[in-house]
Structure 1
Amino acid sequence: MKKEIQLQLTPQQAYDEVVFQQTVSKKLGVSLQDSKIQARQIKRSIDARGRQVKVNVTAEVFIDEQVPPMLDASKPYQNVSNAEQIIIVGAGPAGMFAALRAIELGVKPILIERGSDVRARRRDLAAINKDHIVNPESNYCFGEGGAGTYSDGKLYTRSKKRGDIRRIMEIFVAHGATEEILVDAHPHIGTNKLPKIVTELRESIIQAGGEVLFNTKVVDFILEDNEMKGVVTHDGEKILGLGVILATGHSARDIYHLLHQKKILIEAKPFALGVRIEHSQNLIDKIQYHCEVDRGPYLPASSYSLVHQSKFKGQQRGVFSFCMCPGGFIVPSATAPGELVVNGMSPSRRDSKFANSGIVVSVELEDLPQYAKHGPLAAMMFQAEVEKKAWISGGSTQTAPAQRMVDFVNRKQSQSLLDTSYQPGLKSVNMHEVLPDFISNRLADGFRAFGNKMKGYFTNESQLIGVESRTSSPVRIPRDKESFEHPIVKRLYPCAEGAGYAGGIVSAAMDGERCAERLIGEYLKK
């Protein structure tokens, strides 16, 4: 017999498997000795609103019957070696899932990645962390797996319109992720585990007859009669296909310049810019879990989500937390020499002593009148200018400008800085001199407001580290709402974060699948 039950449990009951089984048995009034009973959690979320933290669990209970696998983890893909091909530019989640979907639909994907494979990327990450050397082709943003592989690996998304979230999760599980990501309300793989999963995804593509080209940069498009026939790589090779899925991520500025140069329609797009804020994880746990010492052995490192509406010179803008990384690290995410960008990441155990989050301000195009001369590249040029200023402020290295939170709000340069997870190091500066006034004033307003919402959050035992500027693409590549095709250039399918249509691993993966479906459905010979 199988039944589904709803439970509200203590952290120990939810996260200690032996205690969980005993709790379910007791609730059902079934003795473990008298009957064969096995329970399995299928949904789990933490409720920390009260003084006592509870965990809401949906469980399947099997009595006197074998527990079936949660899913079929096999990975059967047909061979498409000799099939017609599509070109996918960018091997992040959008590109990889587009490639797998193309294989399912009987088409050969040619996946082109400017950076290195996921293993080789580690050398480039070590170089930027230790030696402050930025490889513009392989870094925290560029390379196999995309930005998400080495900057957190969170799988939570609110986007339910682009596709089947469960399907994406199951593909990850089939390629090595734990089944926990099917259960948790805010699933997370972790930067230490994602590289192996990304490698498995690539192997599935190759074994099915697809091609994956690393260290291959697209430098031109092949256009005929307003149709995208293919691409030209840095070594002059021309690659042709049914069409091109452009999944280059939000930091491929050269692609935006190329599109603009080729007079392919693109648009300036609002985005958000601010800083990373770093607290001790223990402080955030005390605030969120209402604990006096620590969160104990069962609860995961706590997170938070904050938003505030701030008015400056008559204009109201959102100030909000972005990509919060409990038990995580701040990493240098520049994609070219002469710029400084930070991001956050967490390992699967989320066991760092630090908690960090982007705290950013919405930037609308009307905030940037002096950049209007750049047309569709206006927001991108503003973004680049702030990143260069941050680089100079840090000493023209990857050392990041930083300031304690209360000092920042009081416009007082910090005499000393705290320990940090940011490996290249910090330099004490007045962050108001790094950030534009309409950003820094709203951030100060936001920090005061967040201190009222989370007692203890507004403290000089935390510090701002700048700048957090790659929150989303500052450029949109337009596409038709139904066909996903560029409105002017046929056979061009702008995809995911780099085109302004998705944010995060799961939504990008779903968008990649949909782009592959639309392209193949329209242009594969019937």
Structure 2
Amino acid sequence: MKKEFTLQLSPQEAYDPIIFQEVILKKAGLPVDSTDVVARQVKRSIDARGRNVKVNILAELFVKETPPAMLDHRPEYKNVGNEDPIIIVGAGPAGLFAALRAIELGVKPIVIERGKDVRSRRRDLAAINKDHVVNPDSNYCFGEGGAGTYSDGKLYTRSKKRGDIRRIMEIFVAHGATEEILVDAHPHIGTNKLPKLVEDLRESIRQFGGEVLFDTRVEDFILEGNEMKGVVTQHGDKITGIGVILATGHSARDIFYLLHKKEITIEAKPFALGVRIEHSQNLIDSIQYHCGLDRGPYLPASAYSLVHQTEFKKKQRGVFSFCMCPGGFIVPSATAPGELVVNGMSPSRRDGKFANSGIVASVELEDLPEYQKFGPLAAMEFQADIEKKAWLYGGKTQAAPAQRMVDFVEKRVSSNLLDTSYQPGLNSVEMRDVLPDFISERLAMAFKAFGQKMKGYYTNDSQLIGLESRTSSPVRIPRDRESFEHVQIKRLYPCGEGAGYAGGIVSAAMDGERCAERLIEAYVK
């Protein structure tokens, strides 16, 4: 017999498995020492709106019955090694899930990745952090798993119309993620666990006949009329197939230049620009959980989500938090020498002493009149120039320009900076010299407003660390809404974040699956 319960519990009752078992048995009117029952949580979310934090839970109790498996989706893969191939450029979540879906549909994927395999990438990440050396093909953005691999692994998405979120989650579980991601309202995997999961995804592709090529950068396209027949690598190798899924991520500027050079239609796209804000995690916990400086052993490190509408020179623009990383750290995410970009990530336990989040302001194309001469590359060229400027103000290394929050708002250079999770170091500057006026003025307005929404957030015990500029692609590669095929070039399927159609791991994975389905439906008999 199965029973369902909707519960509101204390953190201890929710997160201590023994106590949770006792609570649900009492709720069901059963003895707490019952042995022929299984209780499990199906959905879980934290409600911190009141003075006492509660955890909302949907639970199942099975009495004298074996519970069904948590996984409903069990894709059946068959060996496709002898089938005609499709080409997938990029081994991020969009590319990897496109490849797995192709195998499921009986087509061989050839995944081409400019960077290294996930473990070999680590040496290049160490070189950025310790020696300030950026490998343009292997870094925090490029390499197996894409920008999401060495990240928090956030799996929350609002893109419910793109595909089956549960399916994506279950494929992650089948490749090593814990079943907790099926339960938590805002699931995450963690930067320490993602590399092994990515390896397992790759091995599934290879096990069933797909190919994954590393250190292979696409430098040209093979076009016949208005049809994409394949790609040419930096080694001069020509790789052809039924069609090409372009899933190169939001930072592959060379691909955008190539598309433009080939007169393949692309469009300038709005994006967002700002900084990383770093507070102590204890401070954020005390604000969110009303708990002083100790949240206790049961509650996870707290997160926040903030947004504020600003007006500058009669233009309304939003300022919002982006990729908030509880208990995390800030990392250098440049993809070429001579530029500075930062990003945030967290380990699975989120047990670091700092909390960081991107705080960014919308950049619309009308904000960039002097860049219109670059046509569809206008926003990208602006983004690149700001990153070069940040590198100069950081001291021409991967040290990041930084400033305490109140000092920034009050327009004074910080006499000293706080401890930080950012390993390459910080350089105290006036961040208004780095950021354009229409960004810095909006950020200053927003920080004060955020301090009203979260008492204690606006403090000089936090600091701005710049530059957060890779929030999304500054270029869109337009495609047909129904077929997902490029509006001009047949057999070309722009995909994921780099094409402007996703905004995170799950949405990119779903987009990869849909692109594979549409390509195969259209061109595989």
TM-score by length of 2: 0.99
Look up the match of 1:87.
87
CA distance in 2, matches of 1:195, 1:330: 18
Q: Which amino acid aligns with 1:340?
A: L
Look up the match of 2:213.
213
Conserved 8 A contact 1:85-1:242 = yes
CA distance in 1, matches of 2:293, 2:277: 22
Look up the match of 1:398.
398
Conserved 8 A contact 2:114-2:137 = yes
Q: Which amino acid aligns with 1:477?
A: I
Look up the match of 1:475.
475
Conserved 8 A contact 2:73-2:167 = no
CA distance in 2, matches of 1:33, 1:48: 32
> Which deviates further from its counterpart, 10-19 or 28-37?
28-37
CA distance in 2, matches of 1:51, 1:126: 43
Instruction: Tell me by how many angstroms 1:68 deviates.
Output: 3.2
Instruction: Tell me by how many angstroms 1:406 deviates.
Output: 0.1
Q: Deviations over 1:80-101 (max 9, x none)?
A: 0001110000000000000000
Pairing of 1:88-487 with structure 2 (within 5 A): 88-487=88-487
CA distance in 1, matches of 2:47, 2:104: 39
Q: Deviations over 1:104-139 (max 9, x none)?
A: 000000000000000000000000000000000000
Instruction: Tell me by how many angstroms 1:498 deviates.
Output: 0.2
SS in 2 for 1:439: helix
SS in 1 for 2:66: coil
Aligned residues: 525
Look up the match of 1:67.
67
Instruction: Tell me by how many angstroms 1:329 deviates.
Output: 0.3
Conserved 8 A contact 2:75-2:104 = no
Instruction: Tell me by how many angstroms 1:72 deviates.
Output: 6.4
CA distance in 2, matches of 1:176, 1:38: 23
Instruction: Tell me by how many angstroms 1:152 deviates.
Output: 1.6
Q: Which amino acid aligns with 1:126?
A: A
Instruction: Tell me by how many angstroms 1:293 deviates.
Output: 2.9
Conserved 8 A contact 1:361-1:442 = yes
SS in 1 for 2:264: coil
Q: Which amino acid aligns with 2:465?
A: I
Q: Which amino acid aligns with 1:205?
A: I
Conserved 8 A contact 2:92-2:144 = yes
Q: Which amino acid aligns with 2:330?
A: I
CA distance in 2, matches of 1:13, 1:33: 17
SS in 1 for 2:374: helix
Conserved 8 A contact 1:73-1:173 = no
SS in 2 for 1:147: helix
SS in 2 for 1:102: helix
SS in 2 for 1:14: helix
Q: Deviations over 1:7-56 (max 9, x none)?
A: 00000000000000000011111103356222100100000000000000
Look up the match of 1:2.
2
CA distance in 1, matches of 2:415, 2:271: 33
CA distance in 1, matches of 2:37, 2:112: 50
Look up the match of 2:13.
13
SS in 2 for 1:242: coil
Gaps of 5+ in 1: none
SS in 1 for 2:493: strand
Conserved 8 A contact 1:329-1:355 = yes
CA distance in 2, matches of 1:34, 1:177: 30
Identity, in percent, stands at: 79
Instruction: Tell me by how many angstroms 1:74 deviates.
Output: 6.4
Q: Deviations over 1:320-355 (max 9, x none)?
A: 000000000000000000000000000000000000
Gaps of 5+ in 2: none
Q: Which amino acid aligns with 1:509?
A: A
Q: Which amino acid aligns with 2:258?
A: L
TM-score by length of 1: 0.99
CA distance in 1, matches of 2:320, 2:283: 20
CA distance in 1, matches of 2:126, 2:234: 25
CA distance in 2, matches of 1:36, 1:524: 51
Conserved 8 A contact 2:283-2:293 = no
SS in 1 for 2:301: coil
Instruction: Tell me by how many angstroms 1:372 deviates.
Output: 0.2
Conserved 8 A contact 1:35-1:64 = no
CA distance in 2, matches of 1:353, 1:270: 34
Residue 522, structure 1, aligned to residue 522, structure 2: yes
Q: Which amino acid aligns with 1:222?
A: I
Instruction: Tell me by how many angstroms 1:76 deviates.
Output: 4.4
Conserved 8 A contact 2:285-2:293 = no
Instruction: Tell me by how many angstroms 1:66 deviates.
Output: 2.2
SS in 2 for 1:317: strand
SS in 2 for 1:155: coil
CA distance in 2, matches of 1:28, 1:72: 27
CA distance in 2, matches of 1:152, 1:342: 14
Instruction: Tell me by how many angstroms 1:77 deviates.
Output: 1.4
Instruction: Tell me by how many angstroms 1:255 deviates.
Output: 0.1
CA distance in 2, matches of 1:97, 1:196: 16
Q: Which amino acid aligns with 1:116?
A: K
SS in 2 for 1:169: helix
RMSD across aligned C-alpha pairs, in angstroms? 0.9
Conserved 8 A contact 1:75-1:174 = no
Q: Deviations over 1:421-470 (max 9, x none)?
A: 00000010000000000000000000000000000000000000000000
Q: Which amino acid aligns with 2:200?
A: E
Q: Deviations over 1:333-381 (max 9, x none)?
A: 0000000000000000000000000000000000000000000000000
Look up the match of 1:24.
24
SS in 1 for 2:146: coil
Instruction: Tell me by how many angstroms 1:151 deviates.
Output: 2.0
Q: Which amino acid aligns with 2:445?
A: D
Conserved 8 A contact 2:124-2:135 = yes
